[in-house]
Amino acid sequence: MKRRELLRAGVLASAAAALPRTPALAQNTAPSPELTPAQSGVDASKDLAAPGWKPLFLDAHQNETLIVLSDLILPATDTPGAKEALVNRYIDLVLAAETPETQRAFLNSLGYLDGESMRRYQAAFRYLKREDQDDLLHALAYPRANSGWTGEAGGPDVGHGHFEQLKQRIITAYYSSQTGERELGWDGAFAHGSYEGCNHPEGSHK
């Protein structure tokens, strides 16, 4: 390979990587060469909260469905829930960078939820009454026992599989957010003294 070709390939690749997808991201997209954005000190934590945010990958209905679903899975309690943590925006960002197979798999799972909702309640999931949403989720959330309500005993539990796919995305998005770190009780400091380990007398664990 010629040097010029290599250089040009390199320039194009970094230009593509740096291309802002939305104007709000522009300020954070000038990484130093051969350093990751993190190593360059880029702080992307405010990007998703930018005014005028629009989804990169999801359509409006999918986005709204995801907001409703995520806030049912991780609701506001005495701490904020998934909606406030902008879980939908993070998932949209990751999906936009994912492979077509992974994107399709996610949309399949989201589509399954709406499909079940239509089949049972003749309405898309996000328009259901809260108790119907809960009934539907409850049916999907736990692995089916052999004599399950669907009458498909023995076969793979498709509904639960889709639920788990969606749930994994949502909990990853939530607990990796600043809100999620607070929910787990992290005080924001990196050093908390020495690791103390077990201080019990020998033989005290039975």
Partner 1 sequence: MSGNYAQQDPLQQPYDAIVVGSGATGGWAAKQLAEAGLRVALLEAGRAISPKEFTEHMPSYKLRYRDHSPEIVRTRPVQKQCYACMEYNYEWFVNDLENPYSTPAGKPFTWQRLRVLGGRSLVWGRQSYRLSDADFKAASRDGYGDDWPISYADLAPYYDIVERYVGISGAAEGNEMLPDGRFLPPMKMSCGEVLLRERVKAKFGYTVTIGRAAVLTQNYNGRLACHYCGPCERGCMTFSYFSSPFTTVKDAVASGKCTLITNAVVSHVDMDNALNKAQGVTYVDRLTRQVKEVRGKAVILCAQALESTRILLNSSTREYPKGLANSSGALGHYLMDHVVGGGASGRLPDFKTLPDANEPQRPNGIYIPRFRNTPSGNKHSRFIRGYGYQGGAGAEFNMSAEGYGASFKKAVKEGIYGIGLGGFGESLARWDNYVEIDTNLKDAWGIPALHIVMAHGDNEVALMEDAAATAAEMLESAGAKDIRVQANVEMPGMAIHELGTARMGADPKKAVLNPFNQTHDVKNLFVMDGASFVSSACQNPTLTMMAITVRACDQLIDRFHKNDI
Name which of residues 9 to 68 contact partner 1 (CB under 8 A). 17, 28, 34-40, 42-45, 47
Local structure of residue 27 (DSSP, 8 states): G
Residue 166's nearest CA partner among 58, 52, 77 is 58
CB of 123 to partner 1, least distance (A): 21
**From candidates 142, 150, 152, 161, binder to partner 1 by CB under 8 A:** 142
Strand ranges, E, within 8-145: none
Of 122, 146, 147, 194, the one binding partner 1 by CB under 8 A: 194
Question: What DSSP string runs through 29-60?
Answer: --PPTTS-TTTTT---TTGGG-TT---SSS-H
In the DSSP assignment, the letter for residue 145 is P
Q: What x-and-dash track marks residues 147-176 binding partner 1 by CB under 8 A?
A: --------------------x---xx--xx
Q: Does 136 bind partner 1 (CB under 8 A)?
A: no
d(CA 56, CA 48): 11
Task: Judge whether 73 and 163 are in contact, CB under 8 Å.
Answer: no
Does 184 bind partner 1 (CB under 8 A)? Our answer is: yes
Q: Per rule CB under 8 A, is residue 93 in the interface with partner 1?
A: yes
Q: Which is nearer to partner 1, 158 or 171 (CB)?
A: 171
Question: Should residue 73 be labelled a site residue for partner 1 when binding is judged by CB under 8 A?
Answer: yes
Alpha helices in 52-204 (DSSP H): 60-73, 87-97, 100-121, 130-141, 158-175, 178-183
**106 near partner 1, rule: CB under 8 A:** no
CB atoms within 10 A of CB 164: 15
Among 67, 94, 105, 124, binds partner 1 (CB under 8 A): 94
CB-CB contact of 125 with 115 (8 Å): no
CB-wise, 60 or 106, nearer to partner 1? Answer: 106
Binding site for partner 1 (CB under 8 A): 1, 3, 6, 17, 28, 34-40, 42-45, 47, 72-75, 77, 79, 90, 93-94, 97-99, 102, 137, 141-142, 167, 171-172, 175-178, 180-181, 183-198, 200, 202-203, 205
